[in-house]
Structure formats: C-alpha cells, structure tokens
Structure 1
Amino acid sequence: MFGRTRRATAFARATTATTATATATAVAAVAAVVGLPASATAQDFVPCGQAALKNAVALANTTPGPSLLILSPGCPYSLTTPHNASNGLPVITSQITVVGNGSTIGRSTRTGTPDFRIFEVAGPNGDLRLGGVTVRNGRTPTGSGGGVWVHDGGRLSVDRSKVIHNSALLGGGIASASSTVTFTNSDLMYNVSGGDGAGYLDYPQSVTTFRNSTVGGNTALFGQGGGMEVDGRLTVSGSRVVDNSAGADGGGIMIAPDANVTLTDTVVRSNTSAAIGGGINNYGTLQMTGGEIFANRVTEGAIDSRQGGGIANRGGSVTLNSTRVTNNAARNAPGGILNSGGQVVLNSTVVTENLPTNCAPGTVPGCTD
C-alpha cells in the first residue's frame, strides 16, 4: 500500500512538472510572436469551464496593465450562453494574452444554443493575443466577425492557432475595422459568410499581416471574397489561400478600389467564383512576388462576365514578379488574366495553360495565347 501511495505521489509530481514545463514553453512561444510583456500585471490559470473563462476575461479587463490567461491544456471551453447580447465572452477592452495549451473556445453545438460570436475586441485599448488556441462555431447572422470582431483601433494577434467553422453576415471568421491584425503560423478555415469576406474581412483603414498561414475552405455564400476581402492594407507572406469560394467576385481574394495588397511566396490555388476573378479580383493595387496562382476557376453562374479564372484586374494595378499563373479556367475568355481598364505588369512571370485563353481578349503586355 505504502509503495503504491509513493508511486502515485511521484506520478502526480511528474505530471505537474510536465504540465508546468509545457505551459512555460507555450508562454515563451507566444511571447516571442505576439509580444507578451516581460511581466504581465495579472497571470491567471483558468480552470476548464465557461464560467471560469468569462470571469477571468472580465477580471483581466478591470486589472491595470497587461494580463495573461493560461488555459487548461486541451480543455473544450464550450459556451452555452452569451456574456452579453452579441458575444460569448466579455468585450476585450485591455491587453489580454491567452495561452491556449491546445484548448478550444467555442460556441456550443447543442440544439437551442443562441447565436453569438466568440470574441469582440474594442479599441482603442482592446488588444487580444491568442496563442495555441482554437476559436470555433461563433455565429452572428446579422453582424461582423463570427469568430473575432476587432474595431475602432483595436489589435488582434493570432499565433499557432485556428479560427474555424465560424459564420457571420460579413467576415465569417474574422472582421477588422480601422484596426491592426497579425495572423501567424495559423489556420483560418471553413468559415462562412452570407455576404463578403468569408474567412477574413478587412474594412477601410485596417492594417493586416498574414505569415506562414492557411486561409482555406471558406465560403461567401452570396458575396465577394471567399477567402478574404480587403479594403485596407494587407501583407501576406509564405501562406496559402486555397479552396475558398464566392457566390460573387473573388473566390480567393477580393481587393477593393482603395486597398493595397502585397503577396510574397504565397499560393493562391483551387479557389472558385461564380462571377469573376476565380483566384483574385482586383480593383486596387496588387503586387505579388514569387508564389503561384494555380487551378482557380470561374464557374457557370448567373451574374457578371465569368472571366479571369486566375486574376481579374478591373481598373486597378497588378504587378507580378517571378510568379506562375497556370491551369486556371473561366467560363468565358480569358481564363488566366483579365485586364479591364487597368494595368498589368509581368516581370519574369509565366502565364500558361489557362483555359480558354491565357489573357485574350484584353491587353496584358508579355502574355501570349
């Protein structure tokens, strides 16, 4: 008996030590990416349960200085009731870092659970930093940002996390208005919008950075920008925009007239649009270096011209440097790059094997059919 007790005690100590080490590693990783202060004013281990999480966020909002919330490893924080009319958790109004330890924060899938998004980040002081956590199943059929809605100068940083299976009228996964968003080593996938920006919606004056991440499998049912709609400034590097779809323009990425987008070593692949611009639909400024625009489609739809399987440039500016635009298709020519009233510059770029044509009709210097 004594031997069993001693072994059980030793096991408990080892387990505690292992959990502590894993948590310390997770905190260090998040700190390196999202800028965790050297010493947060409040550090709180959050037991597994929705009440504990709501209370911890509420307390962090009222505690001066940055706060650090460490979630229970692997816990499903299932939200069955909203904290307020629109959100599952208290509105973020201070700097809060959440170390997920592989946990999930999600709206319950039980029948009868009311609609609400998961996080709202309100500026100017709201600053949410997520690391190692999954945000899922938020739902706001009449609002923006089913997973996260950040606005009025707020900040959102996401690292090694997933924002998946959320839905909204606009910005199914994440929506940002006049705010700053950084998305690193993470997945934005399987989100749905009734209107624009199923994965991500960037309103004017927002600044967004995606690094080493995947935007995939998102669906804008009746709107533009299956993967992303950009109205502000977007920088994407080493990432993948794949398998998204839009009921209107821009299956992968929709770029508004005043928007500025830079893509580096990024793949835009297998996206579909029912109208125009299977991969990318551009009214603004797009500069792409490296990467590829591959196997995107404009399907047979009832609206627009069904052109530009790879890219549709409509009065904007597109510069492609050492990029491949191949195997894209549209119902009507061109299947590769449509240039309508704008400028397309190809530098060491290959445009080939698109159907029914690469660039004709239209004027794209250096593109042949």
Structure 2
Amino acid sequence: MPRSAQWAGIQRVAKKAHRLRCAVVLGLTAQVVVVFPAPLASATDGSKGIACSASALIRAINVANASPGADTLRLAPRCTYRLLADPGTGNGLPAITSQVTIQGRGAVIRRDPAAPPFRVLFVSDGGDLTLSRTTIEGGIAIDCPNEGVGVCGGGISSLGKLTVNNSRVRANKVASDVAVAAGGGIATGGDDGVGTAVLVDTEISGNDVAYEGSTAGFAVGGGLFSNGPVTVSRSRIFKNRVRVSADTQSSAFGSGYAAFASATVKKTIISQNRSDAPGGDAAGALTNGATEPTKMMVIDTVIRNNTVSAPRGEAVGGAVATPGLISLRGVEIVGNEVAALEGGTAYSGGVHIGQPVTVVTIEGSIIHNNAARTSGGGSARGGGVGNANGGTVSITRSRLEGNEVTAGGVGVAQGGGIFTATGTTSVFQSTVSRNRADDGGGIYKESGTVSLEDSGVKQNVPNNCAPPGSVPGCFG
C-alpha cells in the first residue's frame, strides 16, 4: 500500500498556504496556441499610453493605484520592459492595490538577468488586475507576501482578483530552503481562500519550483499554484518543474498545476511537466489537494507526456493525482509516466486515487500509453488508473488502452490498465484492452471491489484480470 504521508503532506501544504497567503474533446488534435490579437485602435476609460521604459511603467502603476476608479494602462507595442531593481518589496513593480488593466499589446515585462532576485508582479488583497497580451518573464521570488515563511509566485503572486488573457508567464523561479516553495509561474489565493484567478488563452511554461532544504519540505505547483477559486481555459501549461532536495523525505507535486481550492480546467493542454523527488514522494502534473466538498473539474483537456520521478521513494499519478474530489470529462491522458527506480514504489501512470475519501469520475475519456515503472526489487502498479488507498472511482464510456507496468525483471508489476486495493472501482460501457503487466495485464484487484457493466476487458498481456475470478465478468 502506498504511504499516506504524501497525501497528509498535501493537506499540510493547504493549511500552510492559508497561513502564507501564497498559497479534449476526445480526438482533439489542434494545439492550443496563444495568439496576440491586433492592437486596439483606441483605448477607453481614460487609458494611458506608457513609454517603453520600466520607470515609466512603475510611475503609471503608482498613479493608477492612487486614482479613484478603474485605470487602463496601454504598454508600448512589443516593448521589453526591463526591471533592474527591487525597491525593497520583493516585487519588481509596485503592488496592484486598485482596479488596473494592463494592455500589453505584445510587450514583455522581464526581470533583467543582471538584477537581484524579485518577482515581477504582486496583486494585493483588494487589488484587481487584468493582464492582456503581455509576457511575464524571469521573475525569481524571494518571499511569500505574508509572514515571511516560504517562497511563492515567481512571476505573479496574487491575493486579490487576477485575470490573464492572451498572455505568457514563462521562465520564472521559486526556491526555498524553508517549508514550502510554491507557484513557479503564478501563485494565487490567500487566507481562507481569498483571491480568485481566471486564465484564458494563456501559456504557462518553463517555470521552476525548488525546495532546497535539508529537512522535509514541499515543492508545489511548477506552473500554477492556487489557494482560491481558479478557472483555466484554452491554455497551455507545459515544461514546468517541481523538485526537492534528495533523500530528505520531501514531496514534489503539481508540476503543471496544483490546486487547493475549487478549480475548473477546460480545453487546455498540460504537457511535458516534471516532478522530481529522489528518496521522497512525487506526484502528477495536475494535483487537487482541496478537501471535500471542494471539487476540481477537468473538461475537454489533454494531459500528456508528463513525468513523475522518485527513485528510492514513491511516485504516483503521472497525469493526475488527487486525495480529493475530481471529475474528468472528455479528457485524453496519454504518454505520462511514473518512475520509482532503485527499489521505489510507483503507482498510476495515468490517474491516481489517493485517499479513502477520494471520489473520481472519468467520463468519455481515453487513458492510453501511460506507464508505471520501477527497478531494483521495487513495486509498480496501475499503468492507467490506480485506486490504491480505498477511494472510489467510476469510469464511464471510456477507453484504457496500451498502458504498461514494468519492474525491470524483478519486483512487482501489477495492473496494466487498472489496479485496485481496498477501494471501489466501477467500469461502465468502457473497454480495457492491450495493456501489459507481469500480472493482471488488464485489471489487478488486490482487494476492494471491481465491477464491470457493459464493458470489455480483452487482449491484455499476460492476462485480462488477476487473481483469477477476482473480477466478475472478466475472463482470461
């Protein structure tokens, strides 16, 4: 059975985040592309044109904060605003404390590589920022904007209202040797779930979160971390990373997006993100740490080619890992991998159900060509779906195909398509086919309940279900 410490740790992060205030349709083939529309012909609401200099932008934000009502700041088209100094706040730009819209018109706001570390933007509690057609780049957070414990929000940290349209948040960093590092690109939400975010047609890429302490800690949310309600639509979250110090019993999870409050992700691609925790615990590209009744909804989305690695430790949920409530509808989960080499434990190349209270619904989706791997006498279970700790999962009108579990010739490799232990797994009008493991190529039921209704389990290697007779209606 997988250790519960990782999921208990996720809940501790949620509590810590409160204190810190940082806290496809199937067959979809087209890439989600961030397109900057043509510049607006005119500006409204007393908008101001901002010269192509960081000092001009800083002055404009200060004026906007001080003026009554909403302000719109129009950046110089395709300008790069280079931030060279931290005024002592940990942020390159003044905190947003009022209602401000920044129309980037293709501009970049970048911390200069020669500058000292600081994040680019901070939205205070009560602030309201709408960011459009802007790139936020190169931020390096040095704090979390409350109490001074942990580090969060390399590019943007928000405790207020944040809306990001047609923009990019890329190549930002968070590193901490104390407790928690969170939100390489964006960290949003604060005490008691204060703070909201909406991201549309936005790209979050190449951000990095590192916990560098010598005792147990957490690296969370490589691209995006949320402790308040968030909606992400028509966006791309890719090539982000979370990592922790080796052999410190630390946890790295949510390399693409880690949510600790209600979240909706739709028509988005989450790809090529990576979680690394040598000798510790690592979990998927998309994680939901929110407690019941808060729920994550994932709709018409592709989650592909993400990697979770924990040699000598435990790696779970290559694509999705959750101890809470999550619904996956019209989702393609493909090419993800969990690897716990050197005698480690790997669960759930695709979707991991992590706690007895976990409820996962999978509908109209395809989970294919994912893998769980170990070596050195370790164990690997659940190439497609792993219900490993007593949760409940319902799979309807879906396909689990070509998933694989391997143990390098020694150790345990079970449940190429589905692995269940102590929980309840129900499969309706679905197929489990062409999956592979050392035993239970289609389904392995260690304990708990697995039921099939109008579903087929076929052409799996070396057998369809194991132990023999453990899954009613499954033969071969």
The TM-score with structure 2 as length reference comes to: 0.67
Alignment match, 1:329: 371
- Equivalenced residues, count: 330
Measure the CA separation in 2 of the matches of 1:243 and 1:26: 39
1:104 aligns with 2:104: no
Offset of 1:333 from its aligned partner? 1.7
Instruction: After superposition, give the CA deviation of every residue in 1:41-85 in whole Å (9 maximum; x if it has no partner).
Output: x42110001100111111100010000000001100010102333
Offset of 1:303 from its aligned partner? 9.0
Alignment match, 2:14: none
1:295 aligns with 2:302: no
Measure the CA separation in 2 of the matches of 1:239 and 1:145: 21
Q: Answer whether contact 1:276 1:304 (CA < 8 A) is retained.
A: no
> Residue type of the partner of 2:265?
V
Q: Answer whether contact 1:192 1:219 (CA < 8 A) is retained.
A: yes
> Residue type of the partner of 2:86?
P
Offset of 1:305 from its aligned partner? 2.5
Measure the CA separation in 1 of the matches of 2:112 and 2:42: 26
1:220 aligns with 2:246: no
Structure 2: give runs of 5+ residues left out of the alignment: 1-36, 144-150, 175-180, 211-218, 245-251, 310-314, 374-379, 406-415, 433-441, 443-476
1:160 aligns with 2:166: yes
Q: Answer whether contact 1:26 1:132 (CA < 8 A) is retained.
A: no
Instruction: After superposition, give the CA deviation of every residue in 1:320-367 in whole Å (9 maximum; x if it has no partner).
Output: 110001110011121110002101101101112111211135453227
1:175 aligns with 2:183: no
Alignment match, 2:134: 133
Measure the CA separation in 2 of the matches of 1:230 and 1:254: 6
Pairing partner for 1:198 from 210, 214, 222: 222
Structure 1: give runs of 5+ residues left out of the alignment: 1-20, 28-38
Pairing partner for 1:342 from 391, 399, 420: 391
Alignment match, 1:306: 346
Measure the CA separation in 1 of the matches of 2:199 and 2:63: 26
| CA shift in 2, pair 1:192/1:361, >3 Å | same
Instruction: After superposition, give the CA deviation of every residue in 1:118-167 in whole Å (9 maximum; x if it has no partner).
Output: 0100112x01101110000000144210111011xx10000110000001
Measure the CA separation in 1 of the matches of 2:317 and 2:188: 23
1:52-63 alignment runs, 5 A limit:
52-63=56-67
Measure the CA separation in 2 of the matches of 1:304 and 1:176: 33
Pairing partner for 1:92 from 87, 91, 96: 96
| CA shift in 2, pair 1:303/1:251, >3 Å | farther
Offset of 1:251 from its aligned partner? 2.8
> Residue type of the partner of 1:171?
G
Alignment match, 1:273: 308
| CA shift in 2, pair 1:182/1:257, >3 Å | closer
Offset of 1:25 from its aligned partner? 4.8
Measure the CA separation in 2 of the matches of 1:200 and 1:334: 27
Measure the CA separation in 1 of the matches of 2:352 and 2:222: 19
Measure the CA separation in 2 of the matches of 1:303 and 1:187: 37
Alignment match, 1:115: 117
Alignment match, 1:76: 80
| CA shift in 2, pair 1:88/1:302, >3 Å | farther
Offset of 1:186 from its aligned partner? 0.9
> Residue type of the partner of 2:155?
G
| CA shift in 2, pair 1:272/1:50, >3 Å | same
Pairing partner for 2:402 from 345, 353, 356: 353
Measure the CA separation in 2 of the matches of 1:26 and 1:277: 48
Alignment match, 1:364: 425
Measure the CA separation in 1 of the matches of 2:198 and 2:290: 22
Offset of 1:180 from its aligned partner? 0.7
Measure the CA separation in 2 of the matches of 1:364 and 1:297: 22
Bigger relative CO (Cα 8 Å, ≥ 6 apart): 2
Q: Answer whether contact 2:261 2:290 (CA < 8 A) is retained.
A: no
Q: Answer whether contact 1:214 1:240 (CA < 8 A) is retained.
A: yes
1:34-73 alignment runs, 5 A limit:
39-40=44-45, 42-73=46-77
Q: Answer whether contact 1:333 1:355 (CA < 8 A) is retained.
A: no
Between 209-218 and 221-230, report the one with greater CA deviation: 221-230
Alignment match, 2:153: 145
Measure the CA separation in 1 of the matches of 2:61 and 2:95: 8
The TM-score with structure 1 as length reference comes to: 0.86
| CA shift in 2, pair 1:43/1:229, >3 Å | same
Measure the CA separation in 1 of the matches of 2:370 and 2:186: 28
| CA shift in 2, pair 1:137/1:26, >3 Å | farther
Which stretches of structure 1, 4 residues or more, deviate above 4 A after TM superposition? 301-304
Offset of 1:257 from its aligned partner? 4.5
